[in-house]
Structure 1
């Protein structure tokens, strides 16, 4: 089994859910289940955030010009039904059923075309970044998948590769370098350290660091957060807290 991990960074106005998340930076969406056939797609998503964020995200899902995962930038004539399965003060669970048309395209359907049946999907959406983890048999045409995906997203989003590895290795050390980070994440982390972002007090803020690296602020924030998350999980998995006294603050 192989896994492909990548992120789509949507331009403003190209994805209603991304726009809602960008307006509410502390909100997150992760898929609990995602299944696709040639003509349909079903998914269940778990949303966290403030009451205002949940309302905006729910409205984006329910709006008639948004279809689950459709990459078409114009009205594709698809039909979608979204239901609220659960709601609390800070969480929302949404079920979406999407019936596509010949003009629709999506990550799962492009994956089925190029990677075959039995593909598994896991997603995380925060801000304008939509991260996909695709697990497949290792057969099929991965290069053709990414070529078709780039053609489908056009100018609406930018794709960033994060990891390709054996799926079994994803719970341990990924096969993408000594740090286990995507090259863009490692470069962001190195720049942050070199320019004093992690000093106390900080010698540079994220906006100035983003300007120095010539990347959008949201992109740099996303890369740093993903790098920090991976390194923290790796440290704990390696029993970094075991034995010895705690490090003084």
Structure 2
């Protein structure tokens, strides 16, 4: 089995729960259990925080326009049910069941399609950052999963790849192995970031502005830059130096 960890960063009004959590910095929602079939999804979440925060979190889960994990940018008409399983002064446990419609999808459903069966999910949602950890088989189509996920995300939702263990090379996408070698796309993204002042102090451009200049989705550019940074950092720790990380092979 292999591990995939990534995080989504939501702008305002992109995710009801994120909009709620940003008002309560100490609150946290983490999954206790998460399962999906082709037609449905159900999960149990454990929320911690102040009584006021927990009340707001309950309202977010019960809101008619919020379906846990749905990636649709418009109301998709999904049939969703949420129940409060347990509540104390500083915790609440929520059960959510979601029946898909033909126009909606979710991260677990994309994972089923590209990463296969037998998946294990873990999620943590704090303020606007929603972190996903997926344990999957060795032959999973990681590249296809991320391509599909980027295609479903709204342009103003950032995706940050935290950790990929055992990611294998795909000739079709010209991606990298974990050997410390940058792909052509990563090389181009990192070169553009350097040339446009992304790494200057103070920063002369952010990734959103750079993505516009390069005419690529912001989430795609973020993925390539973060993966390139991870490759260089790993090479530095393993070898004690980074030898021409931006040079072409």
Normalised to the residue count of structure 1, the TM-score between the two structures is 0.67
Deviation of residue 212 (structure 1)?
4.1
The residue that corresponds to 2:91 in the other structure is 91
Deviation of residue 52 (structure 1)?
1.1
Question: 1: distance between equivalents of 2:7 and 2:179?
Answer: 16
User: What do the CA deviations read for 1:95-119 (whole angstroms, capped 9, x no partner)?
Assistant: 0000011111111000111111111
Normalised to the residue count of structure 2, the TM-score between the two structures is 0.67
Deviation of residue 154 (structure 1)?
2.2
The residue that corresponds to 2:50 in the other structure is 50
The residue that corresponds to 2:82 in the other structure is 82
Q: 1:112 to 1:21 in 2, by over 3 A?
A: same
Q: 1:176 to 1:8 in 2, by over 3 A?
A: farther
Question: 2: distance between equivalents of 1:151 and 1:60?
Answer: 26
The residue that corresponds to 2:102 in the other structure is 102
Q: 1:156 to 1:109 in 2, by over 3 A?
A: farther
Contact 2:73/2:154, CA 8 A, preserved across alignment: no
Where do residues 197-216 of structure 1 align in structure 2 (5 Å cutoff)?
A: 212=202
Deviation of residue 146 (structure 1)?
0.3
Question: 1: distance between equivalents of 2:91 and 2:206?
Answer: 31
Q: 1:20 to 1:85 in 2, by over 3 A?
A: same
The residue that corresponds to 1:245 in the other structure is none
Contact 2:123/2:130, CA 8 A, preserved across alignment: yes
**Unaligned segments of structure 1, at least 5 residues:** 168-174, 178-210, 217-249
The residue that corresponds to 1:18 in the other structure is 18
Where do residues 1-249 of structure 1 align in structure 2 (5 Å cutoff)?
A: 1-165=1-165, 212=202
The residue that corresponds to 1:230 in the other structure is none
Contact 2:86/2:92, CA 8 A, preserved across alignment: yes
SS in 2 for 1:146: helix
CA RMSD, aligned part only?
2.1
Deviation of residue 156 (structure 1)?
4.3
Moved over 6 A (4+): none
SS in 2 for 1:65: coil
